[in-house]
């Protein structure tokens, strides 16, 4: 059962500039660490190029007016951007070649979908993808075009009857939810820091889909300082039952690691130890469900460029490959990463547990349990009707 890494060494052109937190370097360091640990040399592992992806493809989910605005700013960037389309704001500064670079990200995630759906690979990972905030008619949250949604659309057009999308980024997967909010063929499930505290301010239990799709949008809104043990408990209460009830043909995941306790843009309290557990759970779900192992994964958020993101996504890819990582990060990669990022990464893959006061953990647990129960009351009976 082959596993595909979608990557080309011509670099990532999706780059908002030196001072922007979404740096291409984090993905380049991830691929370097995957290679340094020997994962790409294992039997059955392929490194595949992105797929061709053009304007007609992106127009399937994004409006023509918006795409034209992106093209204009791509060809002749104006620092003021085009605020009507979310372009040029602090999160989404315009840059030369933005349209083409965004299409390349989408093409890489579609390549992952193609590899899995064709049977060339059972699992596929595009670490440069996961731009889950982009809306049909505007940019949002560092995201120009919505590559996970466009890959899901590709799967539906090529024979998938149902697709389950699981988003573990610390920010609500609002763009993907919006794209399929009235489509009963797609289950969107997001575990994230509550919108009461964090961008984009959405992702609550009452957001359950509309029309025939009521019950196919599921959101677990978590309080700040949620540690891994509580996060994993919420996952176990919601995700396996939802996947089992929905019976998807393929699992698509967004693996944002801005849930990490040190991430500068959010407030959850996970560690790389928890990413091992999350990867194991997602892998099990792919194989234990009607997806029959078919698993398409993307990167996502994560803003500790050298200290967290490469370890987190290498952990996920190792699980996809079925490999056990060494305890220590390869020394050569550590040296190169420190030189490139000007910060010293940890020398081990695992962080160890987060220490929080007992009363804080209990408060977080109570709020999380309440969020889970609210979601179940709002949507689980409706979800069961889609079987």
CATH of the domain at 225: 3.40.800.20
> What gap in Å lies between CA 370 and CA 162, rounded to an integer?
29
Looking at residue 387, its pLDDT comes to: 61
How many other C-beta atoms lie within 10 A of the C-beta of residue 202? 18
How many other C-beta atoms lie within 10 A of the C-beta of residue 331? 10
Catalytic residues: 133
Q: Residue 77, SS3?
A: coil
How many separate domains does the chain show? 1
Going from the C-alpha of 331 to that of each of 273, 306, 327, the distances in angstroms are 20, 14, 12
Q: What is the DSSP string of 153-180?
A: HHHHHTT-S-EEEEE-SSS--HHHHHHT
Looking at residue 355, its pLDDT comes to: 87
Looking at residue 237, its pLDDT comes to: 98
Give the global pTM.
0.97
Looking at residue 1, its pLDDT comes to: 79
Domain range for 272: 3-384
- Report the largest interatomic distance among the alpha carbons of the chain, rounded to a whole angstrom: 55
> What gap in Å lies between CA 173 and CA 202, rounded to an integer?
9
Reading the block at residue 122, the tokens are 């059972």
Q: How far is CA 62 from the centre of its chain?
A: 19
Q: Residue 82, SS3?
A: strand
> What gap in Å lies between CA 238 and CA 249, rounded to an integer?
19
Reading the block at residue 328, the tokens are 């220590």
- Mean pLDDT for each consecutive 10-residue tract of the chain (387 residues)? 95 96 98 98 97 98 98 97 95 98 98 98 98 98 99 98 98 98 98 98 98 97 97 98 97 98 98 98 97 98 98 98 98 97 96 89 96 96 78
């Amino acid at each position: 059962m082959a596993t595909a890494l979608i990557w080309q060494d011509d670099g990532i052109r999706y780059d908002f500039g030196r001072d922007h937190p979404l740096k291409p370097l984090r993905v380049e360091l991830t691929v370097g660490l995957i290679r340094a640990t020997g994962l790409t040399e294992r039997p059955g592992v392929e490194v595949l190029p992105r797929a061709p992806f053009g304007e007609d493809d992106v127009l399937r989910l994004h409006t023509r007016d918006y795409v034209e605005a992106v093209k204009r700013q791509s060809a002749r960037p104006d620092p003021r951007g085009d605020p009507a389309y979310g372009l040029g704001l602090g999160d989404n500064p315009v840059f030369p070649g933005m349209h083409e670079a965004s299409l390349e990200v989408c093409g890489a995630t579609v390549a992952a979908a193609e590899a899995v759906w064709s049977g060339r690979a059972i699992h596929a990972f595009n670490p440069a993808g996961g731009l889950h905030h982009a809306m049909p008619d505007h940019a949002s949250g560092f995201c120009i075009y919505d590559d996970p949604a466009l890959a899901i659309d590709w799967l539906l057009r090529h024979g998938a009857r149902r697709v389950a999308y699981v988003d573990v980024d610390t920010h609500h997967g609002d763009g993907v939810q919006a794209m399929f909010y009235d489509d009963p063929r797609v289950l969107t499930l997001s575990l994230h820091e509550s919108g009461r505290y964090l961008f984009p301010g959405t992702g609550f239990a009452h957001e359950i889909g509309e029309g025939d799709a009521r019950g196919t949008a599921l959101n677990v809104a978590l309080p700040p300082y949620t540690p891994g043990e509580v996060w994993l408990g919420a996952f176990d209460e919601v995700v396996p039952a939802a996947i089992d009830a929905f019976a998807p043909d393929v699992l698509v995941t967004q693996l944002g690691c801005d849930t990490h306790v040190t991430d500068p843009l959010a407030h959850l309290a996970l560690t790389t130890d928890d990413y091992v557990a999350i990867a194991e759970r997602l892998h099990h779900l792919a194989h234990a469900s009607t997806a029959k192992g078919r698993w398409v994964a993307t990167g996502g958020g994560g803003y500790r460029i050298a200290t967290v993101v490469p370890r987190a996504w290498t952990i996920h890819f190792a699980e996809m490959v079925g490999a056990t990582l060494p305890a220590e990060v390869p020394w050569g990669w550590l040296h190169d990463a420190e030189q490139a990022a000007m910060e010293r990464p940890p020398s081990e893959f695992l962080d160890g547990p987060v220490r929080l006061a007992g009363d804080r953990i209990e408060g977080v647990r109570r709020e999380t349990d309440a969020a889970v129960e609210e979601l179940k009351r709002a949507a689980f009976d409706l979800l069961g009707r889609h079987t």
